[in-house]
Amino acid sequence: MRKITVNDQMQQGYVYYLSAPIGEDFDAEFKPQLSPQQMLALGVFGGKYLTDCRAEFPADWFEQAKLSPRQKNPSLNYFGVDASLPLRDWQKKGWIYADDPRGWFQWYCRYYLGRRLELEDQRQIKRWKAIRRHEGAIRKNCEPFDHNCRKKQRQALLHWAYDSRLI
């Protein structure tokens, strides 16, 4: 098991262990269409994600990443729209797990690296499966591959590792 120690703006001295190979041994119900590296290169979360904690993750994840170190910039998103709530809203709704104070994407990055936390993994995978409802709305209301139709829903799906460019 490889030990990871995190020291960034949101966590100091947080330790976790990698027990699975990177990008492998996912739960059978969890089939993301995009890796964290692909998501960062496409443009997600207005570029304001992982900007102060790059040392925790593989350097190649950031080679093509669209990042905005100071503030969220929705124009960096693949669909050019803002499709996410502020972190404080996620905190108020109780969606943030203490080990991943940045939310779902931080969980996914750490899961992808090989961290496994049984109960939290189950919770996040359940949330990931639920977001797929937006795919149905796009299919119902848009012509195939019309990327100008329901841009916010398409961007939201990208934030959850669903490749909405294929719908």
HEC assignment per residue over the chain: CEEEEEECCCCEEEEEEECCCCCCCCCCCCCCCCCHHHHHHHCCHHHCCCCCCHHHCCHHHHCCCCCCCCCCCHHHCCCCCCCCCCHHHHHHCCCCECCECCCHHHHHHHHHHCECCHHHHHHHHHHHHHHCHHHHHHHHHCCCCCCCCCHHHHHHHHHCCCCHHHC
CA distance 47 to 64: 12
The pLDDT confidence band at residue 118, using thresholds 50, 70 and 90, is very high
Predicted confidence (pLDDT) at residue 143 exceeds the cutoff of 80 = yes
Would you call 143 exposed, middle or buried from its count of C-beta atoms within 10 A (0-12, 13-18, 19+)? exposed
Instruction: Compare 53 and 151 and report the one with higher pLDDT.
Output: 151
pLDDT at 97: 86
Cα 97–Cα 100–Cα 103 angle in degrees, nearest 5: 80
pLDDT at 114: 98
Q: What is the pTM of this model?
A: 0.94
pLDDT at 27: 98
Domain range for 96 is: 2-166
Tell me how many domains the chain contains. Answer: 1
User: Which pLDDT tens digit goes with each residue over 12-58?
Assistant: 999 999 999 999 999 999 999 999 999 999 999 999 888 888 999 99
User: Which pLDDT tens digit goes with each residue over 76-95?
Assistant: 999 999 988 777 887 888 87
Start-to-end CA distance of the chain, whole Å, equals 39
